[in-house]
Structure 1
Amino acid sequence: MQQRHTDIINLVNEKGRASVGEMSNKLGVSEVTIRHDLNKLEKEGFIRRVHGGATPHNTDNVSHRITVNYEHKRKMAICAASLVEHGETVMIEGGSANALLAKELGKRSDVTIITPSSYIAHLMKETDVKIIVLGGLYQHESESMVGTLTRLCIKHTHFTKAFLGIDGLHPNTGFTSRNMMRADVGVAILEKGAQNIVITDSSKFGQVHNTPLYQFDQVDMVITDEDASLEYVNLLEKHNIKVVK
């Protein structure tokens, strides 16, 4: 993917809606070029074309979501991987930032990853990392397992750290998710009482989605990016959550 296409995806996701003229001015190319780019990116499922511009494509496709704020997510993944000790067994719940964490851990051979994400398991196929994939009902777009069987599998596994994702964080609602079934899996993971670490870029701060996720007192740490506002850092720290950025 061209850097300009990545920049367009980031701009659209950050603003919620971006006009062709705005993208043309910001990226220093003609409006004709931007329109061609938008047509290509919509065809590939990264954005949605609207009159005069584009809006985000609300997709659970992990490959697509990884491209949004990629550099932030890569740095967060490196930070999270540094917390995993030799011989440790960790749960990686799913999502784009967590997929990049798995890739970082794939450079090692001294850890065990438990995950409901077949996408993450597939990333690990050329590595020496031990992978335990949870069973359950397969969600096609997110490539993740959900449902009663997944909860049962979580109940019968043991891990010392859990890395989780979110779709939104707001002072009035706390952590929220766009998907009720995956939210249920996240709640089951938190019930195990491991060290619970949320990895999320700061674009999720201020967003509210339909399904409640975690209570503030269930989360031990949030790994985010350097653009995280002081307002949200203070909110998390007020609830005794360590913020790393």
Structure 2
Amino acid sequence: MNARQLQIIQLVNERGSVSVSELSRITKVSEVTVRQDLNTLEKHSYLKRVHGSAVSMESDNIAARMQSRFPLKQSLAQYAASQVNAGESVFIEGGSTNALLARYLANDDSITIVTVSHYIAGLLKDSRCEVIVLGGLYQKSSESVVGPLTRSCIHQVHFQKAFIGIDGWHPDTGFTGKNMLRSDIVNAVMAKDVETFALTDSSKFGLIHPYPLAPEKPFRHVISDPGLSPEYQQMLERQYIHVHLVKEQTVGI
């Protein structure tokens, strides 16, 4: 690894996301050379590439992550929106696909969206739907609130459906999350008697992370794509989880 590549890793880890054009300017090499460096660094798991940028492996930058597999995330979000009925209140957790879901629901003035994500709340500032933003400790990296106050807020608000992003699922562990405090909030939502949806692309299946999600009350639905293996699909369905597989398509918001 050369000095320029080390500099790129440092910049990406410090900022979470850096564009190719900015990396080219900082390192004083062409964008073609930067892309070659990024390909090498991604191959060795030092960072992730998204359209026009490099993203830290640990990045919680929702806007950057939204660019990754964007057409698929659009399709998943549009399908998830079709599961919401007029007049319902829905909880939408953080994450890029959930942010797209919120945008699909934004212009229905009969719907109330409850969220812990300040990023999602910002997207909805000009929307017609009602928006309830829960309180708590602001986690800057994810732009979400966490902690005991957030748990208390969840107990005091009511909603019919909840859409949750997951970090991993494995036959040995079930659903898991990377962040302890955010996983705790998900589990507070899962403890309520509501219809719950895990909204995620198939790349999360087969992965294990430290913190259990829904250890006592499993998700009722999984919305994913046909990349989910038939074996995993059958395992989920044997747990009475309804699996919805959505094909990627060109859709508008």
Q: Is the 8 A contact 1:94 1:144 kept in 2?
A: yes
TM-score by length of 1: 0.79
Note if 1:49 corresponds to 2:41.
Answer: yes
Deviation at 1:50, TM superposition (A): 6.5
Shift of 1:70: 1.3
| Alignment RMSD (CA, Å) | 2.1
Distance 2:212 2:92 in 1: 20
Percent identity of paired positions between Structure 1 and Structure 2: 44
Contact 1:174 1:216 survives alignment (8 Å): no
Q: For residue 109 of structure 2, what is the aligned residue in structure 1?
A: 109
Indicate how the Cα distance of structure 1 residues 74 and 223 shifts in structure 2: closer, same or farther if over 3 A, else same.
same
Aligned equivalent of 2:182? 182
**Cross-structure match for 1:211:** 211
C-alpha contact 1:216 1:239 (8 A) present in aligned 2: no
Question: 2: CA distance between counterparts of 1:52 and 1:38?
Answer: 13
How far off is 1:52 after superposition? 7.4
Measured in 2, the distance between the counterparts of 1:152 and 1:48 equals: 46
Q: Residue type matched to 2:113 in 1?
A: I
Any unmatched runs of 5+ in structure 1?
1-31
Q: Which residue number corresponds to residue 194 of structure 1? A: 194
Contact 1:90 1:114 in 2 (8 A): yes
After superposition, residues 1-20 of structure 1 pair within 5 angstroms as: none
Question: Partners of 1:53 and 1:223 in 2: how far apart?
Answer: 27
User: How many angstroms apart in 2 are the aligned matches of 1:110 and 1:227?
Assistant: 34
Give how far 1:38 is off: 5.8
Change (3 A) 1:51 1:103: closer
- The aligned counterpart of 1:230 is 230
Question: 1:171 — aligned with what?
Answer: 171
Residues 106 and 124 in structure 2, CA contact (< 8 A), matched pair in contact too: yes
Q: Give me the whole-angstrom Cα distance separating, in 1, the residues matched to 2:60 and 2:31.
A: 28
8 Å contact kept, 2:191–2:217: no
Question: What is residue 73 of structure 2 aligned with on the other side?
Answer: 73
Query: Does residue 1:148 correspond to 2:148, yes or no?
Result: yes
TM-score when normalising by structure 2? 0.77
Please tell me the residue identity of whatever aligns with 1:206.
Answer: G
